[in-house]
Amino acid sequence: MPFNSNSRLLITGGTGSFGKAFIAAVLERFPDICRIAVYSRDELKQWELQQLFPQDQYPQLRFFLGDVRDRDRLRRSLERVDTVVHAAALKQVPAAEYNPMEFVNTNVLGAENLVQACLDMDVKRVVALSTDKAAAPINLYGATKLCSDKLFIAANNIKGNRDLRFSVVRYGNVMGSRGSVIPFFLEKAKTGVLPITDAAMTRFNISLSEGVEMVLWALENALGGEVLVPKIPSYRITDVAEAIGPSCDKPIVGIRPGEKIHEEMITASDSFTSIDLGAYYAILPSDGRVQERYQEAGISSVAVPSGFAYNSGSNTDFLNVEQLRDLIREHVDPAFAPV
């Protein structure tokens, strides 16, 4: 079990979609957890989260206003913390193209600040959230998240004799998260028009609950130095549009700056150091030691074939229109009906 009555957890970016779902899951499964600290820079979102989890019912919760760009504030917030989930990031692809240094300061330098703060304090486990856009990135957002991933993985090389593990979890679009295509299409369907960027476009899909499960698995089982990737389905953007607005007009408007037609989570170049863990893949550091440690821990793994790539377009598992509608009702809007 990743948490017990002595555990102290800190979540950076804890007021986002993932943070709220993760906090709810931890409080439900581990009600005796000693502390959950929410670290973020938006006081309004923290206040809104406090209304969902009032202090008199959830005395374990603490709220720290702060930015990952501020290493001193991070160090103070990590006092007596043993577990960190890093979800703070700037994420919008077009905004990154227009404001590159803001994304570098938060996603890259902020990640390094957290690494150094965790090394300074008595932290035991760190899991950082990544994105499919970090694999062979063509946009600045993806490039900053690839840098972030590399910083967390490399941190295992400088931890010395500390009982400290840094790992990364990389997954695709979270169904229903803010700024993602499904809420966008649900709103645009009211106008009768669903703009399609490219008819061939595909994306990986994961629900918030699946993302939460993966991070919990990583906190309990990850050995440090790996990038974990879930086995999840893909969808075609045209099928999402058909699922939401079958009667809507669907003009092709062209891809935005920095967008791909298909996303990857494991490239062919990664295949030489990647393993199959069953429900997940893991991209290992080049020394290969992590796979040996998985075997020593009793977690079975096999190497993926040379040249293997995990791509949303060539994925063997695709969601159809009806499956998408069912998932929208389950994870986004229970009252959803196609327009």
Distances in Å between the alpha carbon of 295 and those of 36, 161, 291? Answer: 32, 22, 6
Looking at the DSSP bridge assignments, the partners of residue 227 are 168, 283
Backbone angles phi, psi at 8, to 5 degrees: -130, 115
Q: Which residues contact 153 (CB under 8 A, 6 or more apart)?
A: 166, 168, 225, 226, 227, 285
124 is catalytic: no
Looking at the DSSP bridge assignments, the partners of residue 30 are none
Query: What is d(CA 41, CA 25) in angstroms, rounded to the nearest whole number?
Result: 23
Query: What is d(CA 49, CA 62) in angstroms, rounded to the nearest whole number?
Result: 11
Looking at the DSSP bridge assignments, the partners of residue 203 are 235
User: Which tokens sit at 70?
Assistant: 């501020």
- Whether residue 45 contacts residue 85, with contact meaning beta carbons closer than 8 Å, is answered with no
Choice among 20, 45, 91, 133 that is catalytic: 133
Backbone angles phi, psi at 276, to 5 degrees: -105, 120
Residue with tokens 């959830």: 58
Q: Which residues contact 221 (CB under 8 A, 6 or more apart)?
A: 297, 299
Active site residues: 133
